[in-house]
Structure 1
Amino acid sequence: MKQAIAVRFEENGKETYFDPAGLDAHAGDYVMADTEHGPACGQVARDPQPTPDYLLPNPLRPLLRMADSVDIRRMHQRQNEDKKAWRICRECIDRHGLEMKLVKVEYAPDHSKVTFYFTADGRVDFRELVKDLASTFHMRIELRQIGVRDESKMMGGIGLCGQTFCCSRFLRDFQPVSIRMAKEQGLSLNPTKISGCCGRLMCCLGYEQSAYEYLNSILPMVGSTVRTPDGTGTVVETNPISGYLRVRLVSEALAPKYYKASQCQYISGGKRAPRRPDPDDDYSGMRDPAPVVASADDTADFDAEE
């Protein structure tokens, strides 16, 4: 674990970790940090503390210095500009009747451009919107279409587990998740219980998938015939985590009994095969659409096509 400090660049925004670089900064202080978009002013959310490596960005950028009154004033001014730009863009979207949801507005540190992030069910013809925004802000306009999972990662929030979203906390990339994972882990297939706030299957379904695949591959599958200390029976249920089998004995008409897998000897019925790609797996609904990027410079190309 490395010593890291958490900084927020927006009100109630997600935390980003930085190397303290020897600065005596504490929660509530304002600092200048080296971000991927250049130096930026933010507020320290938590004191420096040892942080697991999986939570830290790669590379871990350093803090530059403590912020002064000018830096703080510019930060608040930028936040107010973002809110104002969001309202203006929202009004333009309503005026043009576009079916798109504005998620976030972000100015470049040097004010050379302003980026609008939005979600939509399909492709949106926003040529007129780009022209209106360019004439209003008099700078380069960039519209980026993102997916619902990217929206959750950008906005942050609290998941069903009571923890901050994994995607906004430590996940670098989204991995495909399928309903087959929930089946192999014996979870309820109720969409409200296995779906995140973004409406997609929860990313955490994939965290233990490899362990379940291995455990399921070494246990007799349901329907197999096994020999137990009390006689021969049929497996009616398996618990890969505890290593117990629920077996209905042939010689008894009573309720099935539980046995440790090590107490049972496999006879017939076929063991569960190692996990292989299944044609029933459907990943199409788990992936977000590829981002669509357009700027004011693209309007000339649009006009040429017409």
Structure 2
Amino acid sequence: MAEIIGVRFKSVGKVYYFDPDSIVVQKGIHVIVETARGIECGEVAVANREVSDENIVKPLKKVIRIATPEDLNRVEENRKKEKEAFQTCLEKIEKHKLDMKLVDVEFTFDNNKILFYFTADGRVDFRELVKDLASVFRTRIELRQIGVRDEAKMLGGLGICGRPFCCSTFLGEFQPVSIKMAKEQGLSLNPTKISGTCGRLMCCLKYEQEAYEDLLRTTPKQGAFVKTKDGRGTVVEVNLLTGMLKVAPEKDAAAAKYYNKKEVRLIKDAELKMDGVDAELKKLERDT
């Protein structure tokens, strides 16, 4: 077992573990820690606790100190600098005529590095841009190309449900989402109905997937051959949530009737077919 605290560096970002080094902290306060990027100021998301060794990657970096008022003022000053740097970078991008979209700018706490996040359709030769920015800011410059999901997380917005994006409000990390999930949940495979503002599959498809997988294990699939009180037939329609099946009799397919799944006996189940999924739909899975 090892004592840790969890720290995040963005409002809805990934939580990283650090060694508290005998410092006791409460959730919500800010601490100064050393990271791979340098010295950073982050918010405590997980107070002092012990976790098993297999859940951490050793060696853990130690907490330097609890953030002072001066440290917090420095963070605020960096936020102001980021806005100025954003505008400067936009001008430089236009000057070099680069096909890229600037999304965000981030100063490290110690000002030893400035990170510029951008999106682009392909590879971008930004070497001259980096030189130009370095001559202006006199510090290390890093340009980082991100995906459309990361862009949505950084910028925020409202989803088709009318609520703020899940990724920008409470999802610390993205989870893989596949077309198969939409198929298993009986959703329309219309891209406009199952994709988010980012253009990728909606993160919320993942939320109920385990429940649907459990229901699929106990419910005959469409195309399954079953036996009912009225004889044998083929399942032509399935409602997973209600457990109702529409079964077409073996001898008279037009006389289909509804049965509860408890009222039928499975003879031969069917497979979930993915052959109706075209390449355009598969593109929605990228970067997931």
Q: Which residue of 2 aligns with 1:85?
A: 85
Q: Helix, strand or coil: the match of 1:199?
A: coil
Q: Which residue of 2 aligns with 1:111?
A: 111
Q: Deviations over 1:226-254 (max 9, x none)?
A: 33224444422123344331224567976
Distance 1:31 1:100, change over 3 A: same
Matched positions, count: 275
Q: Which residue of 2 aligns with 1:75?
A: 75
Q: Which amino acid aligns with 1:83?
A: K
* Structure 1 residue runs without a partner (length 5+): 51-55, 290-306
Q: How far, CA to CA, are the matches of 2:193 and 2:148 in structure 1?
A: 18
Percent identity, aligned pairs only? 47
Equivalences for residues 25-40 of structure 1 within 5 A: 25=26, 30-33=30-33, 35-40=35-40
Q: Which residue of 1 aligns with 2:187?
A: 187
Q: How far, CA to CA, are the matches of 2:232 and 2:287 in structure 1?
A: 50
Q: Deviations over 1:15-57 (max 9, x none)?
A: 5657895646475x5543555534433567x89699xxxxx99
Tell me the C-alpha RMSD between the 2 structures.
4.4
Deviation at 1:88, TM superposition (A): 0.3
Maintained 8 Å contact 1:6/1:16: no
Distance 1:251 1:192, change over 3 A: closer
Maintained 8 Å contact 2:6/2:18: no
> Larger RCO: Structure 1 or Structure 2 (Cα < 8 Å, ≥ 6 residues apart)?
1
Equivalences for residues 71-150 of structure 1 within 5 A: 71-150=71-150
Deviation at 1:116, TM superposition (A): 1.2
Q: Which residue of 2 aligns with 1:170?
A: 172
Distance 1:158 1:24, change over 3 A: farther
Q: Deviations over 1:53-81 (max 9, x none)?
A: xxx99789876543223212211121122
Equivalences for residues 1-306 of structure 1 within 5 A: 13-14=11-12, 17=15, 23=24, 25=26, 30-33=30-33, 35-42=35-42, 64-155=64-155, 159-160=159-160, 162=163, 164-165=166-167, 169-171=171-173, 174-175=175-176, 177-206=177-206, 209=209, 212=212, 215-216=215-216, 219-249=219-249, 256-260=257-261, 262-266=262-266, 270-273=268-271, 282=279, 283-288=282-287
Q: How far, CA to CA, are the matches of 2:190 and 2:257 in structure 1?
A: 27
Distance 1:149 1:68, change over 3 A: same
Q: How far, CA to CA, are the matches of 1:73 and 1:191 in structure 2?
A: 46
139-148 vs 14-23, which moves further: 14-23
Q: Helix, strand or coil: the match of 1:196?
A: coil
Maintained 8 Å contact 1:247/1:259: no
Distance 1:256 1:197, change over 3 A: same
Q: How far, CA to CA, are the matches of 1:108 and 1:4 in structure 2?
A: 23
Maintained 8 Å contact 2:7/2:18: no
Output the TM-score relative to the length of structure 1: 0.67
Distance 1:30 1:158, change over 3 A: farther
Q: Which amino acid aligns with 1:106?
A: E
Q: Which amino acid aligns with 2:269?
A: K
Q: Deviations over 1:96-126 (max 9, x none)?
A: 3322111122233443332211001122233
* Structure 2 residue runs without a partner (length 5+): 50-54
